[in-house]
Amino acid sequence: MSWAALEERVALVTGGSRGIGRAIAVELARAGARVVFTYRASPEAAEETAELAREAGAEARPALCDAGDYAATEALVGEIQSEFGRLDIAVNNAGVTRDQLILRMKPEDFDHVIATNLRGAWNVCRCVARPMLKRRWGRIVNLSSVVVGMGNPGQSNYAASKGGIEALTRTLAKELGGRGITVNAVAPGFIDTEMTAELPENTREGLIGQIPGGRLGTAGDVAGSVRFLASEQAGYITGQVLAVNGGLDT
């Protein structure tokens, strides 16, 4: 078996239409997994991800679904079970930001971020746990963030949601570990995305100056880490948070 091969596996990736989610969906497809990924807007972008995943050599399709909606998530997991007869891997990548300093942040902005980022991950974990338990094999990978360790002004809602993700990860690892299911998190650092590309050059250089690795991370760096944690080779790793941050001291 090749490194981190995922042939015959079926994966669900939330928020897979662009950025890190797209890179994860394509990387899992490249490893041989059949991939279903969710999106909430832009069917055109979702279809682009699907095409890239298919070009990587595996079956892939988008699914319009809000992970923060439990009923919709449960229905999607049921569809995947009916279509493929199994669901082996779940990657909780979907997330939003509504940044603002706490005195200016509206309660509904806090609630929305928690509902999407943390409750959405919990929804998926609960829905996929049963089929994974029945097969006595499963991989759950949750996306956290460097802000959990270092904090970030204006992101009290986002940091709280990602801190909750890490606590959820450790707890579910203990609940599910006895049945061949691993639960881990990946915490990206500063990643080269559309958002960081728009930063002034001196700001980008300042960020890079904090990173021993000497560069911003890429979506591919994150996707490769997720692929490993989803594989057979990572079967004795659970309840961990893998920092993908170039050595940034948080």
**Which residues does the annotation mark as catalytic?**
158
Buried b (16+ CB within 10 A) or exposed e, 121-130: bbbbbebbbe
Give CA–CA dist 162/145, Å, rounded. 6
Question: Listing from the earlier edge strand, what are the strands of the sheet with 89-92?
Answer: 60-64, 34-39, 10-13, 89-92, 138-143, 181-188, 241-244
**Could you identify the residue written with the tokens 């298919």?**
54
In angstroms, the CA 7 to CA 31 distance is 7
CA–CA distance, 6 with 221 (Å, rounded to integer): 18
Residue 97's SS3 state is coil
Q: How far apart are CA 180 and CA 65, in angstroms?
A: 28
- Residue pair 91/11 in contact (Cβ under 8 Å)? The answer is yes
